[in-house]
Chains A and B, each alone.
Chain A
Amino acid sequence: MESAFPVLLVLIKTLLVIVAVLTFVAYLTLLERKVLGWIQVRIGPNRVGPWGLLQPLADGAKLLLKEEITVSAANTVVYIIAPLIVVVCALLPFGVIPFAKGLGLENILGPVANKFDLNTGVVADINLGILYIFGISSLGVYGVILGGWASNSKYSLLGSIRAAAQMISYELGLSLSVIGVLMLAGSLSLVNIVEAQDSIWKWFVFRQPLGFILFLIAGSAEIARTPFDLMECENELVAGYQTEYSSMKFGLFYLGEYAHLLFLSSLMATLFFGGWQGPILPPIVWFLGKTFFFVFVFVWIRGTYPRLRYDRVMQFGWKTLVPVGLLNVMATAFVYTLWLKYLG
């Protein structure tokens, strides 16, 4: 009993985070459609419930009730596994995001809370948080590649090859853009990175402006948001790797995509904007506010910019993003060392 109790609490915490993420993801779709509607001077969904608030439920029900089609030429096992990989790899990284300072459990549980690390506002504070995130996201590519391959269709295969090439290329830029932050924070744990930004002037967006811009660009390419959504561009490839998927399997791809968007926004808030740090309001409010601001930014970008051409995207990734990222790492290291030596 003594040892089962903390395990149970960790399970409850995990479940809570998953439920919260899935709810937010459902309402992200509504937010995206509403904001896009306003940008394009439309009203957006408003039929189901007041202001269309029940729209995500209706969408979910529709996806579940649609006929499940498995292409006869498909490689069935791989075809079914692919969307699962996408969803799992989109949900797993939320485990290391610190969403609040503490849960206030020490008043209820007493010393047990501190003994088993239950009080931290993060599911697992591992000291390699960032590496864990990159590891999982590098596995996420498989869902896309396998989904496109197993569908046994030209559009799917082309879409998945594009997707894989793009995701691998931009992952490099993404990891390079974060290294500056890691050097200044002196840790790979996201909890420590947030704690290093305890006043607004210490937010890494001010100390790593170039890193932030690179992260924003590489991030939106990594999750295939509009200027970079060549893997599913409808006028060339129907829907890319998702073409042959229907019903809830398509729903899972969709879910994975939006969970990824939510994750990237929260990561951006954590790395560059101080995570849950902020005055007066409770930490969780600051964290959610910052996260949803970035979700809004991504929707805004989608409503503003046209899609790029594929070869330009790859050229930009390798010939601009990676060298600038390397330069940023070197400049940060140089300045930081001098600072420590003469001013610190």
Chain B
Amino acid sequence: METILFYVLAAVTLLSAVCVVFLRRPLHNVLFMILTMIGLATLFILLHAEFLAMVQIIVYAGAVMVLFLFVIMLLNLEEISLPKEPRPLRWGFGVILALALVVVLFPIFSHFAPSITGKSIPGAVGNVSNIELIGTELFTTYLLPFEVASILLLAAIIGTVIIGRKLKG
């Protein structure tokens, strides 16, 4: 049952990801990207990472993509102005980038492969819910990276306030 679900959801996610790349109207691309995000969230649920799934939906599908949609609607982009037949150089560049990504991701995938084949993430079993586990880990083991990330976000917030502020006079 779970295996069938996994293949169906993975297929939907991958197909919509392909659509994001190959469709030519920006609005359709964004819509398929939303579908990709939701598909990823469902895969997280299959891995028993419900908290991650919900955050994925709230942050990416619910907030970030709305902003994408806003920009496209306000700019009234109808068709991408890229040439229909991409030049060979661009293809080469894309392939090199994709290979580089594989090289970076391969060690990670090979290390965590057992969790992809259906076993839930370590420690998330038993009575401790996802959210408690993540909370405890964030404030004990990963305290420093967590604080660094929050300072980065704070800097970004201050940056937007300064950019968005109206200059007097």
Contact = CB atoms under 8 A, between A and B. Distances in A.
Interface in A134-150: 134-136, 138-139, 141-142, 145-146, 149
A141 B54 contact: no
17 contacts: A78-B27, A78-B31, A128-B50, A128-B54, A128-B130, A128-B131, A131-B55, A134-B58, A134-B62, A135-B58, A138-B58, A139-B57, A142-B34, A142-B69, A145-B73, A168-B63, A168-B66
A171 B38 CA distance: 19
B61 interface: yes
Contacts of B74: 161
**Binding site of A, secondary structure by majority: helix, strand, loop or mixed?**
helix
A157 B72 CA distance: 12
A291 B61 CA distance: 30
A136 B115 CA distance: 27
Given A126-B50, A142-B34, A161-B73, A131 B58 contact: yes
Interface in B108-154: 129-131
Interface residues of B, number: 21
A164 B63 contact: no
Contacts of A254: none
Given A78-B31, A142-B34, A168-B63, A135 B54 contact: yes
Interface of B: 27, 31, 34, 38, 50-51, 54-55, 57-58, 61-63, 66, 69-70, 73-74, 129-131
A141 B64 CA distance: 12
A223 to B, nearest CB: 16
B73 A157 contact: yes
A114 B148 CA distance: 46
Interface string A174-212: 000000000000001000000000000000000000000
A157 B31 CA distance: 17
Given A131-B54, A132-B54, A135-B58, A188 B131 contact: yes
Interface string A36-80: 000000000000000000000000000000000000000100100
Q: Which of B50, B54, B70 has the most CB of A within 10 A?
A: B54
A135 B130 contact: no
